[in-house]
């Protein structure tokens, strides 16, 4: 579903490296080396600049302090020990946004993507600055997803295992808005909307430990780059490799001890970009599910747990629940360090993603069952061990001696 038209600048970049010595598909990967380097260098230079701007205007995360004294900020979830500048995600997204603009023509395919990303980047930057209410955050997420839903990017079918394809375009509507062709395929685009929303928030919730979101996302974008090359989707390959390069640089600043936080401009954009690139590359739903399996299943597990434990009376109440029950929080309860959590989740993502890419046909069917089962087992087991550890600490606390 790659309708992007490359520019002369893209052709120039992908012809810088002499790939005549390479055999097979290696030349295709090497051609994108300059774009990878642009991401690495740009992010490395931009991150300190963004950090200084954040410090200057007081856009920081202070340990155990509510941002702008907002009641819905859970200070107990803070894992940083010192005041840390925010907005770091801008140093990752700016190079990606510029590469998209310079390497591909502005048309009915690229304009909605850029517009949706702009909505998320601006909205999430404002969240870092003034700590927006969850309803406002949900609002700009919905707007960004609707822009894609009404664009020519339609979820007209889902490929599962082998050659099995489910048709999702029983009803199609084509129209124009301000001279821009738009399209709506039903029921596929309804599923696309919820898929994008789920990916945004599932990946967003990964960012609860220093460096975790950035490390996990680096692995995912490299996997998406491989898929993009194999499916020959230039847009997906280009965006994923520049994102991976930018994240590699940013990890230097994000790995504990943190020098800057990627903040909302990363949390709200990464999941959206991953889901979008998987759609554009035409990867099967089973592959996308395997690659994003850990945050998706963890998010569903946490939401169900919150509904059972807290019994919210409305969606608004459910959205306001801000506890520390995600997979990485449970690993923290088991005394995992931030680096150990990062390596654990990144390794799981790499393992499952590699299996999804390497397997085909019936083997992928067994792989996805194995992957989902493994993730569920890990989540349930870690939750069980973490709860037992928490109960043990309560029993061993000095206060417990005087309780009746």
Q: What is the pLDDT of residue 282?
A: 76
The dihedral built from the CA positions of residue 2, 280, 103 and 248, taken in this order, carries a sign that is negative
Q: d(Cα 119, Cα 387) in Å, to the nearest integer?
A: 39
Radius of gyration over alpha carbons of the chain, in Å? Answer: 22
Q: What is the DSSP letter of 181?
A: E
pLDDT at 129: 92
Pairwise pLDDT comparison (73 vs 127), residue with the higher score: 127
Measure the N-to-C terminal CA separation of the chain; round to a whole number of Å: 65
Can you give the pLDDT at residue 164? 58
Residue 284, pLDDT above cutoff 90: no
How do residues 341-365 score in pLDDT, each as one tens digit? 888 988 988 888 888 788 766 676 7
Q: Which of 34-38, 320-324, 360-364, 376-380 is the least confident region?
A: 360-364
Tell me the HSE value of 122 on the side-chain side, using a 13 A CA sphere. 10
What is the pLDDT of the chain when averaged over all its residues? Answer: 86
CA 59, CA 106: separation in Å to the nearest integer? 33
Span 57-73, mean pLDDT?
72
Percent of the chain beyond pLDDT 70? 89
- Res. 163 pLDDT band, cuts 50 70 90: low
| Higher pLDDT pick, 132 / 70 | 132
Q: In what helix (H) or strand (E) does residue 316 lie, and over which residues does it extend? A: helix 315-320
Bigger pLDDT: 130 vs 162: 130
Query: In the chain, what percentage of residues exceed pLDDT 90?
Result: 43
pLDDT digits (tens, 9 = 90+) for 181-213: 999 999 999 999 999 999 998 888 887 788 889
Question: Which secondary-structure segment (H or E) carries 377?
Answer: helix 361-396
pLDDT of residue 162: 55
Report pLDDT digits (tens) over 301-343.
888 888 888 888 887 778 777 777 888 888 888 888 888 888 8
| Average pLDDT rounded to a whole number, residues 25-38 | 94
Give the range with max mean pLDDT: 126-135, 233-242, 311-320, 356-365.
233-242
What is the pLDDT confidence band of residue 71, given thresholds at 50, 70 and 90?
low
**DSSP label at residue 220:** H
Mean pLDDT value of segment 15-29: 87
Q: What angle do CA 140, 65, 80 make, to 5 degrees?
A: 85
Q: How far apart are CA 349 and CA 268, in angstroms?
A: 19
- Please name which of 285, 283, 319 lies closest in space to residue 303, comparing C-alpha atoms: 319
- Looking at the predicted structure, is the pLDDT value of residue 8 above 60? yes
pLDDT, average across residues 47-71? 83
Mean pLDDT of the region 292-298 = 87
Q: How far apart are CA 94 and CA 98, in angstroms?
A: 6
Q: DSSP for 157-172, please give it.
A: EEE-STT-EEE-EEEE
Phi-psi map region of 165: left, alpha, beta (phi>0 left; psi -120 to 50 alpha): beta
Is 130 in a helix, a strand, or coil?
Answer: helix
pTM, 2 dp: 0.88
Q: What is the pLDDT of residue 403?
A: 46
Assess contact for 231 and 282: CB atoms under 8 A.
yes
């Amino acid at each position: 579903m790659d309708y992007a038209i490359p520019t002369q600048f893209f052709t120039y970049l992908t012809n810088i490296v002499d790939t005549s010595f390479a055999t097979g598909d290696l030349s295709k990967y090497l051609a994108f080396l300059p774009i990878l380097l642009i991401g690495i260098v740009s992010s490395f230079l931009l991150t300190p600049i963004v950090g200084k701007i954040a410090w200057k205007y007081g856009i920081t995360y202070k340990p155990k302090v509510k941002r702008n004294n907002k009641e819905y900020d859970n200070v107990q979830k803070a894992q940083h020990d010192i005041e840390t500048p925010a907005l770091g995600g801008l140093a990752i997204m700016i190079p990606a946004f510029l590469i998209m603009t310079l390497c591909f023509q502005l048309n009915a395919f690229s304009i909605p993507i850029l517009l949706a990303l702009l909505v998320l980047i601006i909205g999430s930057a404002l969240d870092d600055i003034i700590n927006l209410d969850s309803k406002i955050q949900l609002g700009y997420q919905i707007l960004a997803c609707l822009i894609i839903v009404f664009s020519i990017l339609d979820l007209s079918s889902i490929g599962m295992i082998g050659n099995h394809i489910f048709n999702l375009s029983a009803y199609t509507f084509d129209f124009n808005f301000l001279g821009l062709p738009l399209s709506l395929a039903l029921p596929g685009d309804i599923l696309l909307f919820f898929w994008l929303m789920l990916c945004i928030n599932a990946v967003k919730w990964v960012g609860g430990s220093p460096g975790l979101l950035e490390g996990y996302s680096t692995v995912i974008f490299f996997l998406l780059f491989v898929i993009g090359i194999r499916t020959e989707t230039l847009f997906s390959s280009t965006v994923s490799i520049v994102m991976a390069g930018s994240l590699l640089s940013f990890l230097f600043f994000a790995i504990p001890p943190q020098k800057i936080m990627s903040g909302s401009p990363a949390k709200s954009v990464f999941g959206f970009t991953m889901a979008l690139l998987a759609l554009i590359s035409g990867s099967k739903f089973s592959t996308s599910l395997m690659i994003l399996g850990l945050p998706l299943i963890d998010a569903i597990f946490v939401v169900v747990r919150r509904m059972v434990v807290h019994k919210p009376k409305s969606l608004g109440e459910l959205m306001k629940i801000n506890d520390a029950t995600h997979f990485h929080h449970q690993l923290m309860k088991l005394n995992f360090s931030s680096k150990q959590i990062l390596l654990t989740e990144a390794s799981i993502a790499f393992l499952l993603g590699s299996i999804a890419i390497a397997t085909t046909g019936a083997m992928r069917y067994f792989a996805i069952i194995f992957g989902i089962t493994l993730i569920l087992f890990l989540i349930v087991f870690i939750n069980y061990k973490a709860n037992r550890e928490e109960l043990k600490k309560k029993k061993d606390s000095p206060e417990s001696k005087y309780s009746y």
